[in-house]
Structure formats: structure tokens, C-alpha cells
Amino acid sequence: MEPKSLETLRLGFDHIKQSPHNHGTLQLIVARPQEDQRQVQEEGILDESQGLIGDNWAARGSSKTEDGSAHPEMQINIMNSRVIDLITQEKDHWKMAGDQLFVDLNLNKDNVPPGTKLAIGEAVLEVTPMPHTGCKKFSQRFGVEALKFISTPDGRQWQFRGINARVVKSGSIKTGDQISVQSENS
């Protein structure tokens, strides 16, 4: 995969801004059974205590918790499918980002602030305040320019790298399901 220049990536911003605001689509489900392994799933189960069944979130733990246990506010990582498609140009490469859910939905901070509920299939997620930012692995996989792109002021406002969420209602999901933005108090 040839990394895109920052100028080329910026040309795709208008397309990203056209992402649906209230009702989008779940484009891809990816479990991470072990570090650096990815399993694309047509269907999945989101569980309040385990996150995405088959994913290693609970077992992997987090450096952001005092005891190294899994961070409850980083249970599910969600990325805008238009952003990752712009960066990779191939759906088969999306899974390398490390997120579990890829959605065609406006993830702008104003559209999905912390506390917002997202209904997908039978499950409901809640957006958490934990920022989802680019890391060394993201830069290695997609290039320094992609990391710069997601880190621009617009990239941070539109949350190009994605958002963190936690499961508040367990249920099944499948690729193609509608994802609906609900109010923070729903």
C-alpha cells in the first residue's frame, strides 16, 4: 500500500463531511483475537462485559488503567469508513487500523459527543470521553502523512482517527446494519 500525501488526503475532506449525521451504516466488523491479528466478521455480538465477542479487549488490558486491566471506556473503537477508505483505498486494508467497527456516520465531536448513544442492530453503545488518537502503529501502517492528516485541527474535530465507546446494551450486529445516533439521555 502506497502512503498518500497530506495534500491528497486533504482533497477527500469534503467527502468525509458528507457522512450521514443520524442514520449511517455499519460497514465492517473486525475482531482482534491476538495482537496484530485481525478477523473480519459478517456478524458479531457486542457484550456489556466483554466488548466484541472474539476480540482481545478484555484480555489485552490497558496501560491507561492503574492495575493494567482493560479500560472500560475504550471497549469498542469506531472509525469512519470514509476516512479509512481515503487513507487505504482498499477495504481489505481497513482492518489494519485496529478498530473493531467501521461506520459510514458523521463522527464529528458536535454530532457524537461523549454520552451519545449509538444503536446498531440489537446493541447500544455509548460514546465515551476517552480520546482515540493516532499512534506509532498507525503511522507505520499508513504513513506519517496519514497520521498528520488525522491530527490536524479538522481531523481532531471530525475525529478522523475514530471514537471510543462502551457497550450499554448487549446484542447482535451484522455488516449492513443501520447505526442510529440517539440523544445523550436516551
- Condensed to tens digits (0 to 9), the pLDDT of residues 10-28 reads 999 999 999 999 999 999 9
Work out the average pLDDT over 133-153: 89
Q: Cell for 63?
A: 496501560
Integer Rg of the chain from CA: 15
Low-confidence winner among 16-20, 36-40, 174-178 (lowest mean pLDDT): 36-40
- Specify the higher pLDDT residue, 175 or 62: 175
Q: pLDDT tens for residues 159-173? A: 999 999 999 999 999
The predicted structure's pLDDT at residue 185: 54
More confident residue, 81 or 71: 81
Lowest mean pLDDT among 1-5, 79-83, 113-117, 169-173: 1-5
pTM: 0.94
What was the pLDDT predicted at 60?
84
Query: Is pLDDT at 35 greater than 90 in this prediction?
Result: no
The mean pLDDT of the chain is 93
Regarding the domain delimited by 6-182, which CATH topology (the fold level of the hierarchy) does it fall under?
A: M1 Pyruvate Kinase; Domain 3 (2.40.33)
Task: Give residue 173's identity as a one-letter amino acid code.
Answer: I
Tell me if 124 sits within 8 A of 118, measured CB to CB: yes
C-alpha cell at 93: 486494508
What's the whole-number mean pLDDT along residues 42-70? 91
User: And the C-alpha cell for 70?
Assistant: 482493560
Query: According to the model, what pLDDT value does residue 63 have?
Result: 83
pLDDT of 128? 97
Beta bridge partners of 163: 78
Identify the residue whose cell numbers are 457522512: 19
Q: How far apart are CA 71 and CA 73, in angstroms?
A: 6
SS (H, E, C) the chain: CCCCCHHHHHCCHHHHHCCCCCEEEEEEEEECCCCCCCEEECEEEEECCCEECCCCHHHHCCCCCCCCCCCHHHCEEEEEHHHHHHHHCCHHHHHHHCCCEEEECCCCCCCCCCCCEEEECCEEEEECCCCCCCCHHHHHHHCHHHHHHHHCHHHHHCCCCCEEEEEEECEEEECCCEEEEECCCC
Answer yes or no: is pLDDT of 29 > 90.
yes
